Amino acid sequence: MTSWLAPLRAEVARTWFARSTWTLVTVPAVVAALRIVGGRIGERVEQAQKLAAGAQASAVDAVNGFGPLADGLRAGAAVLALLLLVQGATTFVRDRDSGTLGQWYVAAPRSLVVLARVAGVISWLVPALLALLAVAAALAHGINGLTDIVEEGDVMATANELWVDVAKGVAGVIPGLLTCAVYGITVSSFANSAGGAVGGTLVPFILFDVLRALMPDAAKYVFVTYVPFLGDGSTLSRLTDIARAYSDAVWNAEEFGRAWSIPTAQALVLMLLTIVACRMRPA
């Protein structure tokens, strides 16, 4: 058991002690903070323009921070997805260029090396998500307040209900984000250079995300659909409406199930492809 766990522990430890990893953990949180602050400035400008035109400014978002919180989470998670793609894409080519990949293949079975790479890349996903949520929530609370949504005296949604919705929105994107890392690792296992690995990862991902509206039925069965990015059919995208208590915004159980099952299944397939690639090619 110890011999199997040693490569996993070593790769996770190497990832956590890398200075670049902790930089990547903070970037999504910073982007979320900028989105919330920028959105608040935009609200103030819009309200000032309405008042100058003699119209009544909307008071809902002005007194509640769950909408801006959802916006911040969505923006930060999109950057996190990009970082996971790039980090995964450089995993194998980096060690192949440095000559350490061969040492790994001698020390452990190649399938275990793949599992260690996956564990190392995704090990910083949890702290990154926690930092993203903590910063976004603290800023949204400080600026707007995370309270019940009340409109014309009626409680549209309680704070407790909205926190449950936030948890659902974040949970729904975890499989998609994990699959981003695995997808990058798979491309990295086939690539011969870092530039080729990053390009081979990002170009198909972004291209599909942009064009998936042209094939909505087929897109439901590709993990990219459930990743918060450009096209964004993720649960965080739906959260931006639910967090504002829009009347037509509700969770779709079938959609939520696909957000978990499809990325998870495709991540397993990608891992098998990576193992095959590692066994076929030399270090």
pLDDT of 57 above 60: no
Express each pLDDT in 118-143 by its tens digit.
Answer: 888 888 888 899 999 999 999 999 98
> Among the ranges 37-41, 42-46, 103-107, which has the highest mean pLDDT value?
37-41
Q: Is the pLDDT of residue 262 over 90?
A: yes
Q: CA 161, CA 145: separation in Å to the nearest integer? A: 15
Flag whether pLDDT at 61 surpasses 60: no
Q: Give the residue from 77, 124, 104, 118 showing the smallest Cα distance to 234.
A: 77
Q: What is the pLDDT of residue 62?
A: 47
Q: What is the pLDDT at residue 60?
A: 45
Residue 157 β-bridge partners: 149
The yes-or-no verdict on residue 4 having pLDDT over 70 is no
Question: What pLDDT, on the 0 to 100 scale, is given for residue 7?
Answer: 67
Helix and strand tally (H, E) in the chain? 12, 2
Whether residue 66 contacts residue 146, with contact meaning beta carbons closer than 8 Å, is answered with yes
Per-residue burial over 260-274, b if 16 or more Cβ lie within 10 Å, else e, is: bebbeebbeebbebb
Residue 154 has pLDDT above 90, yes or no: no
pTM of the model: 0.88
Summarize the confidence of residues 148-174 as an average pLDDT. Answer: 89
| Residue 38 CA to its chain's centroid (Å) | 21
Per the CB < 8 A criterion, the answer to whether 81 and 177 are in contact is yes
Residue 108 confidence (pLDDT): 64
Residue type for position 9: R
Predicted confidence at residue 25, as pLDDT, reads 86
* Amino acid identity, position 70: A
